[in-house]
Amino acid sequence: MTAWGMVFDLKRCIGCNACAVACKQENTLPKGVFYTKTLSVTTGVYPNTKKTYVPTICNHCEDAPCQRVCPTGATYTRPDGIVMVDKDKCIGCGSCVVACPYDVRTMIEREHLEEGLFGEGNLTDFEKQGYGRFVVGTVTKCTFCHERVDAGKEPACVATCPTNARIFGDLDDPNSSASKLIVERGGKQPLPEKGTKPKVYYVD
């Protein structure tokens, strides 16, 4: 069975957030809404400072707490492991938002779709074309670019990453680049103690 997952190579990542912008393009995301974003963390004291860039995304967990708490079944997992939100079933209770340890889910508000990227209600043709996928008062999040994946392509963030720091693949296939990377370089899941069995791994 396919189990789509992702690996982030922290040695490669330069924190440029091309991924975040590619995703915004791909998904017509409103201002301030991100399905993926790359963060940084600095430790140490000058001059022995260390800075790491850390991409983050929905982990499409195998034991997804968002799905567990959802009262309507709007949050569900596809057979290939992608955790989706059915925008027609979501009632906007927000249980999934507090249940997700990674804070990767966003409630779409009216202002998101009405103010526009340039503010004051000036929606561009791009936004007019694309905002229809969102329903105000429902939750949205990364779908591992399910439409691209179904067509055999990589997610937009993976495709654009200038340093090839994002690797997408079938974690149930030991020969996929993702699986091999996890094994060869000791992939670690984010916040494993939360018990969500994330399908996103980090190598450094």
- Site pattern 167..186 for another protein (x: CB under 8 A): --------------------
For 64, the token pair is 């997804």
Residue 48 backbone phi and psi in degrees, to 5? -90, 50
Choose among 54, 32, 14, 25: nearest CA to 162: 14
* 158 touches another protein (CB under 8 A): no
Q: What is the dihedral of CA 192, 196, 199, 204, to 10 degrees?
A: -10
Determine the interface stretch with another protein among 77-85, 118-126, 169-177 (rule: CB under 8 A): 118-126
- Site pattern 76..115 for another protein (x: CB under 8 A): -------------xxxxxxx-xxxxxxx---xx----x--
Report how far apart the first and last C-alpha atoms of the chain are (Å, whole number).
Answer: 28
Q: Which residues have a Cβ under 8 Å from the Cβ of 65 and sit 6 or more positions away?
A: 96, 99, 100, 101, 194, 196
Interface positions, 25-44, toward another protein (CB under 8 A): 25-28, 31-32, 34, 37-44
Cβ count within 10 A of residue 108: 22
* 18 touches another protein (CB under 8 A): yes
CA atoms within 13 A on the CB side of 176: 16
Number of H helices, E strands in the chain: 8, 9
Is the CB of 71 or the CB of 174 nearer to another protein?
71
Determine the interface stretch with another protein among 77-85, 161-169, 171-179 (rule: CB under 8 A): 161-169
* 16 touches another protein (CB under 8 A): yes
Q: How near is the Cβ of 107 to another protein at its closest, in Å?
A: 6
For another protein, the binding residue among 47, 152, 175, 184 (CB under 8 A) is: 47
* 129 touches another protein (CB under 8 A): yes
For another protein, the binding residue among 62, 130, 172, 180 (CB under 8 A) is: 130
Is the CB of 122 or the CB of 177 nearer to another protein?
122
Please give the angle made by the CA atoms of 61, 38 and 41, to the nearest 5 degrees.
Answer: 105
Is the CB of 70 or the CB of 182 nearer to another protein?
70
